Each structure stands twice: as structure tokens, then as C-alpha cells.
Chain A
Amino acid sequence: MLELAIGIIVGCCALGAGIAMVAGIGPGIGEGNAVAKACEAIGRQPESKGAVTSTMLMGCAVAETTGLYALVIAILLIFVAPNLLVDVLMGAIAA
């Protein structure tokens, strides 16, 4: 029974991590849009390449943030949450 409980905890943590990374879609679309527009801008005005590129990198980095929040949560779910929850379970059994 205990093995089943621990198995459910670990499996659900892994599933949660996978579902959390669905948030990677958002930054993908956003950064793609940003780069497409930057390419258009450079095509129209090649002399402003430097300014456009640095602004684009800046915007990409800001757009990436939501994806990175998801990454941090996924990593917490994989590496931190199982140990924590198994400890809680053991404590509940001992009590």
C-alpha cells in the first residue's frame, strides 16, 4: 500500500511538471512574433539593424519570463516536491 502511495506521489509530480511546461507555448509564439517583426523592420530599414536587434533581444528576454516561471515550477515539482510529500506522508503514518 505504501509503495502505491509513494508511486502516486512521484507520478503525479512528474505529470504536473509536464503539464506546467505547456506554458512554453506562450513565449514561443511571442518570441516568434517579435523576431518576425524585427526581420521586417530590418528589411525595411537596414541601417537601423543594431538598434532593432538589441531591442528585439530585450523584448525576447522579457517575453521569455513566463516560460521560465513554468520551468522553475516544473523543476521544483521534479526535484523538490516528491521528497517533501513523501516526508509528509511518512509523518502522517507515524502520527
Chain B
Amino acid sequence: MDKINTIKFKLIDALLLICALLPLISIIILQILTEPASSGINLTGARIFFTVKMPLQDMYITEAQINSWAVILTIFFLCLYFTHGLSEKAYTKRQIAMEWVIEKTEALVTGNMGTAFSGFAPFIAAIIGISAFSSLISLLGLFPPTSDLNITAGWAILVFILITYYKFKCGPLGYVKSFGDPVPMLAPLNVISEVATPVSMAFRHYGNILSGVVISVLLGTGLQGLSSIVLGWLPGILGEIPFLQIGIPAVLSVYFDVFSGCLQAYIFAMLTMMYVSSAFNVDEFERRKLKKQQKKIK
């Protein structure tokens, strides 16, 4: 109890919070410095900051990558802040809050995937955290990394690798056999549906966030034009006040940025849990394990 009241503890706390805020502040400054002046509908993809020469194809370092690294750093330092000063008995509010979060995540994972996958809770929590945070970053006026297909496709490929890994747990033969289910004639369709899983996951997340961004930009530009029509007859700077842009875009922002961003994070995590747990045949795995043990004994 007295450990958390020392000056050193509070200093480290403040330092961690500053470290968590620093990446966000730095990408806001980067955005202000590098944003090209433009008028009208400004809908571009992620800006390319610089290009790294690579043997096969040039690697582009874009806004999406920089922003997602900033999000990762922020989440990392927030985690350090929330786990700072853990004790066996919870004294601090943050420890109680974090214990609640971890309990909820573990209940979600074991409820959806079964007890065999209880080790998946950190992974699922990481997916929800980074996805929600990446989408919510657009509230600061920044480019949300999830509205770039490359970022969501990266996560979807990760999930695809996990699915394939858990299918291989029942042996390579079992993996090949799973395509001939229910009849071997349907194997091409099964291959297509296997490939379609990561594609649809990536497109779903990307499309939802991107549609929000597109509609917000269109509405903002439309309201600017409308207010210049209404106030355009006033002389000088008075005619340029975009008074309709105050408040109205915020209503859409609550749906597209806050609700849709959090919902897509939840859905991405739910689909990950469902696909991975349905790829793993627990009974078959147990049977193989038992067989191997019996062979060893003989």
C-alpha cells in the first residue's frame, strides 16, 4: 500500500503515460507538417512517406504503417502503465479494472472456443485492442490504419496461418482429407472457401472503415459547399465561415468511427475465434495422441 504513494512510483507512472501519448502527438504533428493543401473532395489512400529499395519490389513506408506503429507503441505503454505496481491484493483502481477486462476476455474466449483454447485470450485481446484503437484514431483526424487493405489483409493472413496450423494438428493426411468433405467431388469448392476466408475477413473490416471515411469526407465537403451557398453573399471572410460543418459531422462520426470501429473489432475477433476453433478437431486430436502413447508403451 505504501509502495504506490512514493514519489518514484508516481514519476514512473507519469513517464509511462507521457510515453503512451507521445506516439499519437508525433503522428498528429507529422500529419500537420506533411498534409498537402487541397480544396474540394480530398480522398486519397495512405500517403507514401518514403520508399525503401528492395530486390523484388520496392517497399513503401506509408501513413498506414506509421500510424499503426504509433498505435502499437501507445497500446504497449498503456499496458505497462496499467500493469505498473501490481500486487497480490488489488489496491489500485487500474488493477481492478484490468482484472475485470482479463476476466471478461477469458470468459469470451472459453465461451466461444472451449477450454482447449483458453491460451488464446491474450491473442484475442490484442486483436480487439489494436483493431478498435486503429479505427478510433480517426477521431483525432488521423488516417485510420484499418482503412488500408494492407493492414487488415496482414491480420487476415495471420488468422489464415492459425487456421491452417490447427488443421495440420490432426496430421497432414487429415488436412488433405478435410477438403474431401462431405464428398471428394466438392474439393474445388472447399479450396475456394478456404481461400475466401481471409479475403472476406480483410475486405469486411477494410470496407466498413473505408465506407465511413468516404461518407464523412463527402458530407464534410457537401456541407462546406452548402454553407458557402448560404453565406456566400457576405463580404470578405464572413462568407467563408463553414458554419454548417459545426456539429453535424459529429453525429455521423459517432456511428461510423466509434460504433462501427468497435463493432468491427469485436466481429473480427469473433470470426477469428470461430474459424480457429472449428478448424481444430479435438476428438480426432485426442484419439491420435492416445494412439501415439500406446505405440510408445509397446
Binding site for B on A (CB under 8 A): 57-58, 61, 64-65, 68-69, 71-72, 75, 79
Q: Which of B45, B207, B264, B266 contacts A72 (CB 8 A)?
A: B207
Are A72 and B203 closer than 8 Å at their CB atoms?
yes
Main secondary structure of the interface of A (DSSP, over half): helix
- For A75, list chain B residues within 8 Å (CB): 210, 214
B257-291 vs A, CB cutoff 8 Å, 1 = contact: the mask equals 00000011011001000000000000000000000
Shortest B192–chain A CB gap in Å is: 15
- For B264, list chain A residues within 8 Å (CB): 61
Given A68-B211, A79-B43, CB of A61 within 8 Å of CB of B203: no
- For A58, list chain B residues within 8 Å (CB): 267, 270
Is B208 interfacial (CB 8 A cutoff)?
A: yes
Q: How many residues of B contact A (CB 8 A)?
A: 16
Bound-state Cα–Cα, A55 to B210, Å: 24
Interface Cβ pair total, 8 Å cutoff? 32
Are B263 and A61 closer than 8 Å at their CB atoms?
yes
Are B214 and A68 closer than 8 Å at their CB atoms?
no
**16 additional A-B residue pairs with CB within 8 Å, beyond A68-B207, A71-B211, A75-B210:** A58-B267, A61-B204, A61-B263, A61-B267, A64-B204, A65-B200, A65-B203, A65-B204, A68-B203, A68-B208, A68-B211, A69-B207, A72-B206, A72-B207, A79-B43, A79-B45
Binding site for A on B (CB under 8 A): 43, 45, 200, 203-204, 206-208, 210-211, 214, 263-264, 266-267, 270
Nearest 10 CB-CB pairings of A with B: A68-B207, A61-B267, A71-B207, A65-B204, A65-B200, A72-B207, A71-B211, A68-B203, A68-B204, A58-B270
Bound-state Cα–Cα, A79 to B214, Å: 12
Are A69 and B203 closer than 8 Å at their CB atoms?
yes
Bound-state Cα–Cα, A69 to B263, Å: 19
- For A79, list chain B residues within 8 Å (CB): 43, 45
23 A-B contacts, Cβ less than 8 Å apart? A57-B266, A57-B267, A58-B267, A58-B270, A61-B204, A61-B264, A61-B267, A64-B204, A64-B208, A65-B203, A65-B204, A68-B203, A68-B208, A68-B211, A69-B207, A71-B207, A71-B211, A72-B206, A72-B207, A72-B210, A75-B210, A75-B214, A79-B43
- For B267, list chain A residues within 8 Å (CB): 57-58, 61
Shortest B99–chain A CB gap in Å is: 22
Bound-state Cα–Cα, A76 to B60, Å: 20
- For B203, list chain A residues within 8 Å (CB): 65, 68-69, 72
- For B207, list chain A residues within 8 Å (CB): 68-69, 71-72
- For A65, list chain B residues within 8 Å (CB): 200, 203-204
Bound-state Cα–Cα, A58 to B45, Å: 28
- For B208, list chain A residues within 8 Å (CB): 64, 68
Residue of B nearest to A70 (CB): B207
